[in-house]
Structure 1
Amino acid sequence: MRFHRTRPARLLLGLALAPLLTGCFASAGDESGERTGKSGSRLRVALAFPPAENLSPYGADATVLSRLGVTEGLTSLDANGSAAPALARSWQREGDRSWLFTLREAAFQDGTDVTPARVAAALTRATEAKPAPAALSGVTLTAEPAGGDRVRVTTESPDPVLPLRLAGPALAVLSPKAYEEKGRVDPVGTATGPFALTEVTGSTAATLDRFDDYWGGLAHVSGIDARFIADGTARTNALRTGQVDMAEAIPVAQAATLDRSLRREIATTRTTSLQLNTRTGPFKDPKLRAAAREAVDTSAFAKDVYEGHADAGTGIYGPAVTWAAGRREQPVGRAEAAVPEGTSITLATYDNRPELPEVAQVLKQQLERAGFRVELEVREYSRIESDALAGKFEAFVVARNTLVDTGDPVAVLASDYTCDGGYNLALLCDRGVDRAVAKAQGAADTSARRSAAMAAEAEILGTDAVVPLVHQRVVTGVGNSVEGVLLDPYERTLVGTGTRR
């Protein structure tokens, strides 16, 4: 079945706006040498994280694609953390395990139509991905056309937050062309967002052009020239010297060097934590994990390392998750700390977020004072993620947005701390934790689900597999000529149709 789409209103709007846009924005070949498109200027963006997985939509790169306005799912996440329409304009629950989504009229960037069959196929591909997208941790779903413009999504067990789950960046819908090469998913020109990837230069740059047939309207800029600059100082300098119009994740050490008019700060749901390898090595012993946790002084990180741009760690969820504090429970079942007696460990982190190496250095000093012998290892994220997930380090410092995958507070617990979790850096497999997370996953009422999530958090913290260090605020560098930047506490969006310069 195929939709027969008509676009006269959109076409007339584009014809009417073309002269106006051409007059308002810079023409091709301006003095800076930047590339310009059919109408409107191009936006130059510096991103912190080079692709770790060839821009696969299923892993960490999914958020890069979402922030650049390339990909979309059936739903999105609104400012209150609720599911909002995206490729699906509405949905309804049919029973405990089944949901019916009604699609809007939309097109893929390769010119084909978004149809129920193609949406179902894209979701099926996501369920088959290895490792599984974090949003699907602990969930088995099937998708199929349901007649007309509808898609039915069925889960193996009841999933009361499925619309939130489908808003996860890793569950973006791509055209069949994206899956033609066996074992690889290619997002170049196959997504549905306002900007289409046209070229990816390894891990250094990407070129995007405006998708003129985007269902949400014509973007103000004709395209985006993205540069992946892992070094935070270099990103900041690129903004300061006018090489880019926007730079994400400005290091706190560099924020003070930028004019106040160039800084945008927002509280986020990102928590920096110390993850301890519970499967192999010395931290398999819960008593040594307890010793590491007792050695950590979290106040030093918020005050000194983050220079006030963060709050001391209190749990997996921080103050940006406004409902968490009133429901927080004391950790349960903690072991008595052992004496480290020179136990050797490797502590690793990455430098894409420039504060993390300093966090790791302070941690090293704190752990050594407690009696551990610590070797520090720092790499760029794309070169360390696989080793961290494989348990090649005893301890790992990570900055993790606790609501980025689905907006559901339970999802990060399932993906990061259960036996089957797809992003389980602590390699934790604990029956009590799995039971608590499963109970939270089964709660349908919003208030009950949040309370169950906090009970599960207490179980996880009780294992000492994770030590929350700080809850972050993020500083984005934005040029004075840029408007309409999408600052998001969930860090899923950055540029959209209304972003302009």
Structure 2
Amino acid sequence: MRLPRRPRLMAAFLLTPLLAGCFASGGDDGEAADAKDGSRLRVALAFPPAENLSPYGADATLLSRLGVTEGLTSLDANGAAAPAIAASWHREDDRTWLFTLREAVFQDGSAVTPAAVAASLTRATQAKPAPAALSGVTLTAKAEGKTGVRVTTATPDPVLPLRLSSPSLAILAPKAYDAKGAANPVGTATGPFELTKVNGSTSADLDRFDDYWGGRAQASGVDARFIADGTARANALRTGQVDVAEAIPVSQAATLEADTRRETATTRTTSLLLNAKSGVFKDASLRAAARAAVDTSALAKGVYEGHADAGVGVYGPALTWAQGKRVAPAGRAQAGKPAGASITLATYDNRPELPEAAQVLKQQLEKAGFKVKLEVREYSRLESDALAGKFDAFVGARNSLLDTGDPVAVLASDFTCDGSYNLALLCDKKVDQAVAKAQGVADTAERQDAAMTAEAAVLGTDAVVPLVHQRVITGVDAKVSGVLLDPYERTLVGTGTRR
């Protein structure tokens, strides 16, 4: 349901007026007003909401990319923590940080206060399942004076400011939460665009939030369409139905004009995840056989047509520091004989290369002696079954720094016994020990070393087979400027995005 608009009482005092010449005017009064106020952006996203736009799970990234939600911190271009709702912070002791809030208001008109922020973070810690950014972490948040929020962790967490940049730890107004703990981001966030209407899994409407602390957005709003089919997204851009289309399939890249293609190196890795808890791949020797059967170069050159690099680990070339620190996996089981073992291989079609990659993997695994059944669905209809271990193998694309910006966090959430996004259902004592050790390291270089040691422990189980490291293609109309492209894939539309 569309919410009634509220008066923007503070706009005249907080915001500078737009230049009248920024947009062409003409036509009737409505067209003139639209030109003065900024045009609406039409954006095609690849992933329909999987959880009714809950800010805690996979949908959190949708909200972040559309400029709806923000956390206490953000990530800068170098992957370091940068101010967002918090203007500054400092570490009081090994378990306690004090964040100083900037002056801001929620989209419902209420003030962003220490009490509201502390309550929002507390709600996130109580969410089920827990946000991936909080995997293995216990924290409490309390208001401190007029501008402070003190966050305390059960054990030392040297990268807490990075963790709090996660899209799944967005700060929402008190009215966002119901008695059962569910969070509704419609009209309750802090970003430059306010979510006003959600049309199921097909589209969403957003209006500019005029009281945004970071300044008035140049676009008057965003019309978001969720289009799972990659070819349809490319066609929508090519025919002028949308202004921006994310995740253009490599097979469609050549159909777009050169000035409408943006290729971005990302920290996204496509991997084959093997169910280490039950079924055929509970046997480590058969996981080793599957890993040995995979030819990653064929995927990078064939399926991805050179828009990806052959997989070398959880972390790819976009993390330049990782290449010189990589540790060879140890303790791998000797490859066994599949002997016709039957497996179900699942993937999703929101990223069009994945079904094709899965088909190539099916052939490679069958050549090695497995019998393979391939299952392809839209992601929102697949995730719960994958997490429940209903498949033997899963092909997925994962941005390793999406959740926190911390290289250790993805290992904790994806490959430890208590990990909240453990699609391989891996539970290995050596992996948990290596990840726990890395989590306790504060020095940046030493933490990177520890992350690579933990990565080697993960790869040694053969529960994950890195396939390719992706470069993402975004379609952007030639008249559009200011689209936010970053290797962490958290941003897309911001205050400077316009057409």
TM-score (norm 2): 0.96
Deviation at residue 184 of structure 1 after TM alignment? 2.1
Q: Distance in 1 between matches of 2:269 and 2:498?
A: 31
Of the structure 1 ranges 19-28 and 148-157, higher mean CA displacement relative to structure 2 is found in 19-28
Q: Deviations over 1:62-83 (max 9, x none)?
A: 0000000000000000000000
Q: Distance in 2 between matches of 1:212 and 1:381?
A: 34
Q: 2:287 is matched by which residue type in structure 1?
A: R
Mapped contact 1:26–1:41 kept (Cα < 8 A): no
Deviation at residue 332 of structure 1 after TM alignment? 1.0
Q: 1:450 is matched by which residue type in structure 2?
A: Q
Q: Distance in 2 between matches of 1:499 and 1:405?
A: 24
SS at match of 1:324: helix
Mapped contact 1:37–1:223 kept (Cα < 8 A): no
Match of 1:3 in 2: none
Which residues in structure 2 correspond to 1:150-165 (within 5 Å)? Answer: 150-165=148-163
Deviation at residue 51 of structure 1 after TM alignment? 0.2
Q: 1:224 is matched by which residue type in structure 2?
A: V
Mapped contact 1:121–1:143 kept (Cα < 8 A): yes
Q: CA 1:164/1:353 → structure 2, altered by over 3 Å: closer, same or farther?
A: same
Which residues in structure 2 correspond to 1:92-107 (within 5 Å)? Answer: 92-107=90-105
Q: Distance in 1 between matches of 2:27 and 2:383?
A: 41
Give 5+ residue unaligned stretches, structure 2: 1-7
Mapped contact 2:414–2:421 kept (Cα < 8 A): yes
Deviation at residue 16 of structure 1 after TM alignment? 3.5
Which residues in structure 2 correspond to 1:59-74 (within 5 Å)? Answer: 59-74=57-72
Match of 1:269 in 2: 267
Match of 2:4 in 1: none
Q: Distance in 1 between matches of 2:87 and 2:61?
A: 22
SS at match of 2:450: helix
Mapped contact 2:412–2:435 kept (Cα < 8 A): yes
Q: Distance in 2 between matches of 1:173 and 1:28?
A: 38
The ranges of structure 1 where at least 4 consecutive aligned residues each deviate by more than 6 angstroms after the TM superposition are 24-28
SS at match of 1:500: coil
Alignment of 1:11 onto 2:9: no
Q: CA 1:41/1:459 → structure 2, altered by over 3 Å: closer, same or farther?
A: same
Deviation at residue 182 of structure 1 after TM alignment? 2.4
Mapped contact 2:10–2:211 kept (Cα < 8 A): no
Match of 1:446 in 2: 444
Q: CA RMSD in A?
A: 1.8
Q: Distance in 1 between matches of 2:217 and 2:21?
A: 13
Q: 1:401 aligns with which of 399, 402, 405?
A: 399
Q: 2:391 is matched by which residue type in structure 1?
A: F
The number of residues matched between the two structures is 492
Match of 1:363 in 2: 361
Q: 1:150 is matched by which residue type in structure 2?
A: G
Mapped contact 1:26–1:40 kept (Cα < 8 A): no
Of the structure 1 ranges 14-23 and 273-282, higher mean CA displacement relative to structure 2 is found in 14-23
Q: CA 1:357/1:28 → structure 2, altered by over 3 Å: closer, same or farther?
A: farther
Mapped contact 1:53–1:59 kept (Cα < 8 A): yes
Deviation at residue 221 of structure 1 after TM alignment? 0.4
TM-score (norm 1): 0.96
Match of 1:114 in 2: 112
Match of 1:4 in 2: none
Deviation at residue 185 of structure 1 after TM alignment? 1.1
Q: Deviations over 1:337-371 (max 9, x none)?
A: 10000000000000000000000000000000000
Deviation at residue 278 of structure 1 after TM alignment? 0.4
Mapped contact 1:25–1:39 kept (Cα < 8 A): no
Give 5+ residue unaligned stretches, structure 1: 1-6
Alignment of 1:471 onto 2:481: no
Q: Distance in 1 between matches of 2:49 and 2:199?
A: 10
Q: 1:256 aligns with which of 254, 272, 275?
A: 254
Q: 1:48 is matched by which residue type in structure 2?
A: A
Q: Distance in 1 between matches of 2:332 and 2:28?
A: 64
SS at match of 2:320: coil
Which residues in structure 2 correspond to 1:404-483 (within 5 Å)? Answer: 404-483=402-481
Q: Distance in 1 between matches of 2:63 and 2:494?
A: 12
SS at match of 1:439: helix
Q: Distance in 2 between matches of 1:174 and 1:339?
A: 53
Deviation at residue 13 of structure 1 after TM alignment? 6.5
Q: Deviations over 1:91-112 (max 9, x none)?
A: 0000000000000000000000
Q: Deviations over 1:185-214 (max 9, x none)?
A: 100000000000000000000000000000
Q: 1:174 aligns with which of 163, 166, 172?
A: 172
Match of 1:337 in 2: 335
Mapped contact 2:15–2:211 kept (Cα < 8 A): no
Q: 2:246 is matched by which residue type in structure 1?
A: E
Match of 2:142 in 1: 144
Q: Distance in 1 between matches of 2:380 and 2:311?
A: 26
Q: Distance in 1 between matches of 2:293 and 2:300?
A: 16
Alignment of 1:40 onto 2:53: no
Match of 1:392 in 2: 390
Q: Distance in 2 between matches of 1:408 and 1:137?
A: 12
SS at match of 1:392: coil
Q: 2:417 is matched by which residue type in structure 1?
A: C
Deviation at residue 163 of structure 1 after TM alignment? 0.2
Mapped contact 1:250–1:476 kept (Cα < 8 A): yes
SS at match of 1:428: coil
Deviation at residue 26 of structure 1 after TM alignment? 9.2
Q: 1:492 aligns with which of 476, 486, 490?
A: 490
Mapped contact 1:107–1:213 kept (Cα < 8 A): yes
Q: Distance in 2 between matches of 1:12 and 1:121?
A: 29
